């Protein structure tokens, strides 16, 4: 999704071509051979122009060359990763530069922004259309002519954080005033047992601080008091850090802004493990009396037991509290909320075909809750809440309905070690049941694995089987897994279409 928001058609084409090039083994290739073998639907002239444009981009941040001669391209083992190129294109995009301008308010109006970046107003309107539509999904309105945002200030800050974090881990804002000072202040005030730990969390906190500080200096105050009267600051918390922090903005300490930052530090990101340093604060929140989010979570846990079997949430406290955070975040804003996971949701759904089934099971619970008097707001965001919870629960979704499993028959000759490898692979893949068979085949199976082409029954549909290829046996597990994933995905599509 993020490519559609930030990148124009030309940039997306370059990224798509580069992604396919990354599938090639290191070596030198003819442009024409690559164009034909990778099924690029471009003329030879256009394909060459795209490659030269990619090369020009790469020269901005690496000395490794993709093109070495007129009609040859070289795939180097050290060639930059797809994600790195994606991030470069994103930071160079008009929408991303506009986000920086909106945060810093360095441009008085659209004319100033366009003049600074040497683009026309029409180009800016066209290339930022998807960004404006995305913001509107969260009830944030972009006035492009005046370069202003209106809507929930907390959501505006979260949206800034999401884009700057996802694209550059916040490094795009290193040029802003106080960037280095904020980072140094966080390290200065950390307690001894946090030293040299959780640097990624500190980097996130620095970005939240920098965004909040910039918004405060530009007279955009938090609206957290409009969302809730609750405090996210545990009693007895030392807030010396915030006294120093607000000196950067030349303003007095504002306890509402401190409350906003506490929410962003501890409640917005998900916990990364059972040892996460944020655990104690989330647990403190969870155990507060009259906690309706806790009550909902207990109901949700009972619902989950119907499809996760005997799994006990108390064995995974971080998972349980992440589910608590997911409910709490949606209930705070009472609408759709911007999650970075949604930037890559299409990739996740393609990778894990059972995720859709799990999402549907979770959606059923929230649809019932949405019928209650105080929870009608859920109707507008059930799919997003269910999806993020499905992503959290998927690794534990091991007791899968047999109807959704891929039933595979395996027919081999006498190589016991090979048979054991195939059967062990099946045990590792939760959506597959592999059974060793002998000829003739007397039962129905979704798919077959044969140890030899001589074992294939006459008339069997080629899409229903694969044969072990000893030419590529050293890596057969990877290819077999990919084949089983494809067939399983087709089975699920058939089940849903019925």
The model's pLDDT over 378-416, given as tens digits with 9 standing for 90+, comes to 999 999 999 999 999 887 775 555 667 888 988 876 667
The per-residue pLDDT for 439 is 76
Q: Name the pTM for this structure.
A: 0.83
Cα(256)–Cα(235) distance, integer angstroms: 15
Cα(207)–Cα(251) distance, integer angstroms: 19
The string of pLDDT tens digits covering residues 246-293 is 887 787 888 999 999 999 988 888 888 888 888 888 998 899 888 999
Mean per-residue pLDDT for 414-422? 73
Q: Cβ of 475: how many Cβ atoms within 10 Å? A: 9
Cα(57)–Cα(187) distance, integer angstroms: 36
The string of pLDDT tens digits covering residues 31-68 is 888 887 777 788 888 888 898 899 899 888 888 788 87
Cα(106)–Cα(355) distance, integer angstroms: 43
Give how far the C-alpha of residue 189 lies from the chain's centroid of Cα atoms, to the nearest Å.
31
Q: What are phi and psi of 142, to 5 degrees?
A: -105, 115
Count Cβ neighbours within 10 Å for each residue of 260-276 and write b for 16 or more, e otherwise.
bbbbbbbbbbbbeeeeb
The per-residue pLDDT for 196 is 47
pLDDT band of 310, cuts 50, 70, 90:
low
Work out the burial of residue 330: count CB atoms within 10 Å of its CB; fewer than 13 is exposed, 13-18 middle, 19 or more buried.
buried
Cβ contact 104:178 at 8 Å = no
List the one residue out of 366, 226, 232 whose CA is nearest residue 288: 232
200 pLDDT exceeds 70?
A: no
The string of pLDDT tens digits covering residues 109-166 is 999 999 999 999 999 999 999 999 999 999 999 999 999 999 999 999 999 999 999 9
* Packing angle, helices 82-91 and 153-168, rounded to 10: 130
Give the mean pLDDT of the chain: 85
- 26's tokens: 């290191």
């Amino acid at each position: 999704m993020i490519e559609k928001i930030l990148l124009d058609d030309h940039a997306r084409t370059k990224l798509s071509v580069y992604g396919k090039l990354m599938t090639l083994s290191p070596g030198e290739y003819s442009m024409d051979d690559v164009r034909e073998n990778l099924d690029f639907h471009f003329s030879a002239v256009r394909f060459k122009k795209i490659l030269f444009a990619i090369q020009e981009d790469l020269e901005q941040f690496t000395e490794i060359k993709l093109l070495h001669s007129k009609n040859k391209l070289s795939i180097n083992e050290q060639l930059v990763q797809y994600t790195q190129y994606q991030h470069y294109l994103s930071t160079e995009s008009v929408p991303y530069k506009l986000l920086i301008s909106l945060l810093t308010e360095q441009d008085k109006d659209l004319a100033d922004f366009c003049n600074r970046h040497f683009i026309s107003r029409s180009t800016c309107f066209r290339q930022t259309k998807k960004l404006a539509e995305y913001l509107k999904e969260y009830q944030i309105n972009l006035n492009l002519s005046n370069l202003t945002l209106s809507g929930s200030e907390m959501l505006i800050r979260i949206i800034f954080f999401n884009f700057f974090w996802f694209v550059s881990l916040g490094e795009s804002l290193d040029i802003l005033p106080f960037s280095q000072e904020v980072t140094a202040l966080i390290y200065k005030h950390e307690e001894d047992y946090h030293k040299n730990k959780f640097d990624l969390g500190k980097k996130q906190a620095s970005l939240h601080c920098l965004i909040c500080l910039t918004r405060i200096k530009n007279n955009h105050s938090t609206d957290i008091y409009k969302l809730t009267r609750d405090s996210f600051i545990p009693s007895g918390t030392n807030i010396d850090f915030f006294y120093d922090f607000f000196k950067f903005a030349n303003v007095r300490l504002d306890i509402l802004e401190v409350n906003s930052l506490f929410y962003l530090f501890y409640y917005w990101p998900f916990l990364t493990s059972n040892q996460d340093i944020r655990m104690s604060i989330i647990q403190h929140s969870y155990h507060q009396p009259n906690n309706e989010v806790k009550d909902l979570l207990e109901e949700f846990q009972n619902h989950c037991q119907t499809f996760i079997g005997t799994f006990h949430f108390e064995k995974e406290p971080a998972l349980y509290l992440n589910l608590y955070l997911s409910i709490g975040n949606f209930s705070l804003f009472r609408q759709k909320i911007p999650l970075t996971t949604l930037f890559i949701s299409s990739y996740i759904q393609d990778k894990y075909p059972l995720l859709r089934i799990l999402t549907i099971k979770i959606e059923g619970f929230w649809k019932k809750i949405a019928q209650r008097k105080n929870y009608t707001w859920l109707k507008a965001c059930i799919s997003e809440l269910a999806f993020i919870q499905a992503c959290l629960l998927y690794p534990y979704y091991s007791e899968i309905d047999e109807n959704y499993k891929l039933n595979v028959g395996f027919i081999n000759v006498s190589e016991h070690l090979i048979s054991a490898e195939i059967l062990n692979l099946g045990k590792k893949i939760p959506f597959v049941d592999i059974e060793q068979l002998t000829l003739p085949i007397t039962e129905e199976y979704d798919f077959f694995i044969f140890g030899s082409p001589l074992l294939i029954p006459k008339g069997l549909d080629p899409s229903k089987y694969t044969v072990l290829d000893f030419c590529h046996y050293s890596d057969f597990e990877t290819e077999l897994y990919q084949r089983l994933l494809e067939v399983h995905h087709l089975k699920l599509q058939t089940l849903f279409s019925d």
